[in-house]
Structure 1
Amino acid sequence: MLLIASDHGGFELKQKLVAHLQARGVALRDLGVNGPESVDYPDYAALVAAPVSAGTAERGILICGTGIGMSIAANKFPGVRAALAHDGFTAQMAREHNDANILVLGGRVLDPELACVMVDLWLGHVFEGGRHQQRLDKIQRLESAAGVAC
């Protein structure tokens, strides 16, 4: 199951992505927001990142105005690899090279059609492993050494 959430800055794009994903038959759970009223993005980042970190969800999508805040907040959770993507190439590489388990998008900086393409690319590609796995292992060791905890 794919989890998706946004703050107020990403609400409109989230709504479009939810409709796009449902039309494709993707099983997803929309964790909010449910309107354009101002909220704090870390609260919504945690709703997606905590289950991904715990292993109860495989992947998620987060959207805020620029994507920066959601990326910072989500990456505080152990095992989360939240990647802020700006185009199709970065979305695809986030999956193939970085095994990103959360895709982060900027609702105020992306065209909705491009965002749909980006999500499709991210969902449609797999992690390549190999030399990339060695790099992820190093990131895991950094997390362990730093005592990252939420």
Structure 2
Amino acid sequence: MERVKNFLELNKEEAASVSQLTIHPHRVGSQCSFYEDFALRGIRVDRVESGFVSCSFKVPPRLTDKNGNLATGAVANLVDEVGGAVVHVEGLPMNVSVDMTISFLGTAKLNDELEITSKVLGQRGSYSGTSVLVRNKVTGELIAEGRHSLFGKQASKL
């Protein structure tokens, strides 16, 4: 337990950097939140079709672990965001993630270009299921495969 505590503890330089951050609350219709800016800055949407989204993403230093690999939490975030984007309906609130399963099959290094694709597996009532693949754009290596279940309001039929 002590090892984990020491690992998570910030050193003086890190603590000073964190104390200088200004984090404003997110309001619908305003600029992006700190979280969205930090995690999603740099993602580029390449193609959108009905039930399909394709994006590109270059691995930035802020999302790598101590070994220089894309952090697993960052991969989970990409699966969550791109999986949710494929079922999002403009004008309705964002869907809420109910369940995610991610298989980590490879690693991505700093500055690797990734291709992230998501497709709808099915929808029943307010529930949706998506599949998300994260690949190295140059080598084609599969970095992660995610399955994502979401719940959200449906468009009115009136």
What's the TM-score bracket when you normalise by the shorter of the two chains?
A: under 0.3
Based on CA coordinates, which of the two structures has the bigger radius of gyration? 2
TM-score normalised by length of structure 2 = 0.24
Q: Please state which structure has a larger fraction of its residues in helix.
A: 1
Q: Which has the higher strand share?
A: 2
